[in-house]
Amino acid sequence: MPVHPTLPSDIYERFHALILERSGLYFPEKRRLDLERGLQEAMARSGCDDPLAYFRLLQESPTSGPLWEQLIAQVTVGETYFFRDRGQFEALRQHVLPEIIARRRPSRQMRIWSAGCSSGEEPYSIAILLWELLPDLDDWNITLLATDINREALERARAGRYGNWSFREEGWEPLRARYFTRRGKEWEIADRVRRMVTWNYLNLVEDVYPSLANNTVAFDLILCRNVTMYFTLELVQQVIARLHEALVEGGWLVVGASELSPTTYSRFQARTFPGAVLYQKAGRPARDDLSWLDAVEKAAPAAPLSFSPARSSLPSAPEREEKVPPGAALEGDRVPAADPCAEALAAMERGQLQEALERLHRLLESDPRCAQGYLLVGRIRANAGMWEEARRWCQKALEIDPLLAEAHFLLGLIHSQEGCLEEALAAMKRAVYLDRNAALGHFFLAQFYREQGQMARARKSLENAAHLLEGLPPETPIPWSDGMTAGRLLLAVQRQIGEIESRPRPRPAQETLVS
């Protein structure tokens, strides 16, 4: 049934502005019917039949809550299918992926991100190509991250079942025969392909990437196709800038054919292939020399190990403030000294990494025993995928301050990226021991336990995280997360608890907890 505009213009504009503000989704006037159709479906699902009452419910609800999830699912109907856009996938198969494989063969590590993955056909297509191109794929450490703002689509993607309409791109039929099994009217993807993909919720408009905390760093290839069509030009530029930062030098970006723009992607070099134009990140920053840290390191003897109460990951205030004689200055006359670590952190959050490094340079030259300064250098290098360097600076921070919980947390994530699960688990245990309120630490501890098959321990860690998060307002930023909110993390925790509960219970001999 065709949908005609039914909302008065003033009410429609209120919805339009709220959705843009909270999700970044932009609907020009020519797509008003699309937005109204989605609003009608979402209102019906919510049980509310009054547009103004529904609007107030949206205003009062967290963006990470179920009401917004329903709305986002209705207004972002993803149109996707396997190997969509033959020219782009031929370029990936014949040129881009072989180039990445050759470059990464010494380490056998590769990182790919499908940003805006919808119901999963795109990341599964990439996984299938990797099985075709890598006969020794089992010997590689491959991260294939798939994210979307539509949680319903993510659940369909996890299920891995598709109808014939998902295979309408011609020429790839032999691959369907090799990697799918017919189940009634649907095709089920092979477990070996399904296991390659990690599914996560992520809103590209929110400034929470690149970040090691949500695994959005150091990619060799990012596919972000037909996603920015929902954004304003300003938001498109912000998103592309962050995707550029999330790529390694020489990394590739694939966008939709209708999204090509020489101005929007001016930071990249356009590469032309038959039937496709892809973008490559090339050229290093003008100054990326950290040799000054070698000299700083020699000037900073390690502190002896001592015991003290657990501390926050933020720089602590000075133990003793300078006393001002009475009458020496009025209270409003004193200008607080600038906090170099806070200034460097602010520059990092703005994406001005070179400025942050320069501030840290000056800080560590003047105070070579500032553990927080070394930690921030480690974060910058980790977000660039320079795991060895990042590990070095985290370890230096811990030599100076062994009880810096955030440094143990970051070290755990670095070990995980390097494929050292035992070391990652040990570091994350230290982080949550030093800071029992570190919800994100408990969450990652659960991930590492799950990778080891220790499901009872994983569930306990998730329950610890849930207990901490349930007492916080949903929009509260979580420490160490680069901006993730309590509501968003709680949803991830609850979903993983549900996944553990749905698994068949192992025999007691398969897992033993030490008291």
- 277 conformational bin, left if phi > 0, alpha if psi -120 to 50, beta if neither: beta
Q: Is the dihedral of CA 412, 447, 103, 217 positive or negative?
A: negative
- Does CATH place domain 9-75 in 1.10.155.10? yes
Q: Cα–Cα distance between 427 and 414 in angstroms, integer?
A: 10
Instruction: Tell me, letter by letter, the H, E, C secondary structure of 467-507.
Output: HHHHCCCCCCECCCCCCCEHHHHHHHHHHHHHHHHHCCCCC
Greater model confidence, 236 or 408: 408
- For 292-305+339-510, CATH number out of 3.30.70.20, 1.20.120.1200, 1.25.40.10, 3.40.640.10 equals 1.25.40.10
Are 58 and 21 spatial neighbours (Cβ–Cβ below 8 Å)? no
**Taking residues 131-146, what's their average pLDDT?**
95
- The answer to whether 82 and 174 have CB atoms below 8 angstroms apart is no
The predicted-structure confidence for 190-231, as pLDDT tens digits, reads as follows 999 999 999 998 888 876 789 998 999 999 999 999 888 778
Q: What is the pLDDT of residues 421-449, one digit of tens each?
A: 999 999 999 999 999 999 999 999 999 99
The predicted structure's pLDDT at residue 494: 92
Contact call for residues 35 and 13 (beta carbons, < 8 A): no
Mean pLDDT for the chain overall: 84
Q: In the chain, what is the straight-line distance between the N-terminal and C-terminal CA atoms, in Å?
A: 63
Global pTM reads 0.80
pLDDT, tens digit, 9 for 90 and up, residues 282-313? 865 434 455 555 555 555 544 443 334 444 44
All structural domains of the chain with their residue ranges: 9-75, 86-281, 292-305+339-510
Strand-strand pairing, 141-148 and 197-201: parallel
| Cα–Cα distance for residue pair 121/54, rounded to 1 Å | 33
Query: Mind listing the pLDDT tens digit for each residue in 232-263?
Result: 888 888 899 999 999 999 999 999 887 777 78
Please name the residue that has the structure tokens 């072989």: 98
Query: Looking at the domain 86-281, which fold is it?
Result: Rossmann fold (3.40.50)
Place of tokens 């799918």: 180
Rg (CA), the chain: 25
Residue with tokens 């890598």: 134
SS3 state at 437: coil
What is the crossing angle of helices 371-383 and 405-417, to 10°? Answer: 20
Backbone angles phi, psi at 16, to 5 degrees: -55, -45
